[in-house]
Amino acid sequence: MFDLNGALERFAGKLALENILTAAVTLLVCLVAVRLLMKVARRLLGRTKLEERIRRYVLMALKLLLYTLTVVFTAGSLGINMTSLVALLSVGSLGITLAAEDVLGNVAGGLVILSSHPFAIGDFIESGGVSGTVEEISLNHTKLITPDGLTALLPNKELAASKVTNYTVLGRRRIAWRMSAAYGAPTETVKAACHRAVEATEHILNDPAPAVYLTAFGESGVDFTVYCWASAEDFWTTQFALAEHLREEFAQAGVEIPYNKLDVHIQKD
């Protein structure tokens, strides 16, 4: 049967006063070294262009590493077998890494997002079929607020590896609104009605200049597309206002908006 008290007495007997003093001095020196190294690291990171959050995460990881080395050095000064301790730490870290593989992948993805800046808080993005305004970027996930008021949490591991479309990074967005006109309507009449609708719509930018093009010949009408730009903040309201003005201008110009028709012929025997 294992004698715990005897093992503790033998271990205490090996801890001579000299080892205890050496360990105390080692601990003191390590703590001072940790403080100095952390101070130097803060200064060096402060000169970089990294975001404050990334600098904070790097400093936390560095502090954890330095304190781990402090424990190892202090334990070695006490005469503890470091081979077993290092092996135990290695096995433990391997188990933690395997158990938290997805979490570590999200953390790595979060660092990539924070360092590469594909989007920022307040941007409207789309990824993996989900679109919304970025509200929070953490190491584990990115929080989006969808246009219908829902909250979506996207894992950073998937977000960093997938296609991301940023609609607001330029500060403006292009509106491409398609309208159909009957084949009997003259092209210039339709274009003039479209330009009047653009002029009547607020928040449309003059640079780049709006344009109207004939883009397709449909089954029941001719398709015209209005291209114009609006600021990212006014995009949705401007687009809907343009649609209303297009309908009004088409009506005033006598331009018919075609729709699918079905002619039924009844024959008598």
Q: State the pLDDT at residue 8.
A: 46
A 10 A CB-CB count for 35 gives 11
CA–CA gap between residue 27 and residue 80 (Å, rounded): 15
**pLDDT grade, residue 239 (50/70/90)?**
very high
Please, what is the angle between helix 82-99 and helix 101-116, to 10°?
A: 80
Q: State the pLDDT at residue 2.
A: 46
Q: Where in the chain is the domain with CATH 3.30.70.100?
A: 172-253
Of 105, 137, 106, the residue nearest 123 (C-alpha): 137
Average pLDDT, the chain: 82
Max mean pLDDT range (67-71, 80-84, 195-199) = 195-199
Residue 105 has pLDDT above 90, yes or no: no
Q: State the pLDDT at residue 99.
A: 47
Stronger pLDDT, 31 or 150, i.e. the higher one: 150
CA–CA gap between residue 76 and residue 67 (Å, rounded): 14
pLDDT above 90 covers what percent of the chain? 40
For 176-216, the pLDDT digits (tens) are: 999 999 999 999 999 999 999 999 999 999 999 999 999 99
Q: Given its phi and psi angles, is residue 179 left (phi above 0), alpha (psi -120 to 50 degrees) or beta?
A: beta
Residue 4 has pLDDT above 60, yes or no: no
Residue 91 has pLDDT above 70, yes or no: no
The predicted model gives 81-101 an average pLDDT of 58
Q: State the pLDDT at residue 101.
A: 58
- The residues facing 178 across adjacent strands are 225
Q: Where in the chain is the domain with CATH 1.10.287?
A: 10-99
pLDDT above 70 covers what percent of the chain? 80
Q: State the pLDDT at residue 245.
A: 97
**pLDDT grade, residue 75 (50/70/90)?**
confident
Q: State the pLDDT at residue 83.
A: 64
Q: Tell me if residue 63 falls in helix, strand or coil.
A: helix
Q: What is the DSSP string of 46-71?
A: HTS---HHHHHHHHHHHHHHHHHHHH
CATH fold label, 172-253? Alpha-Beta Plaits (3.30.70)
Q: Tell me if residue 182 falls in helix, strand or coil.
A: coil
The predicted model gives 255-266 an average pLDDT of 78
Q: State the pLDDT at residue 92.
A: 59
The answer to whether 26 and 33 have CB atoms below 8 angstroms apart is no
> CATH number of 10-99: 1.10.287, 1.10.3470, 1.10.1740, 3.90.830?
1.10.287
172-181 and 222-231 strand pairing: antiparallel
Enter the CATH code of domain 116-166.
Answer: 2.30.30.60
CA–CA gap between residue 179 and residue 189 (Å, rounded): 13
For 108-121, the pLDDT digits (tens) are: 788 788 778 888 88
Q: Where in the chain is the domain with CATH 2.30.30.60?
A: 116-166
**pLDDT grade, residue 95 (50/70/90)?**
low
CA–CA gap between residue 130 and residue 152 (Å, rounded): 8
Residue 134 has pLDDT above 70, yes or no: yes
Q: State the pLDDT at residue 96.
A: 55
End-to-end CA distance of the chain: 109
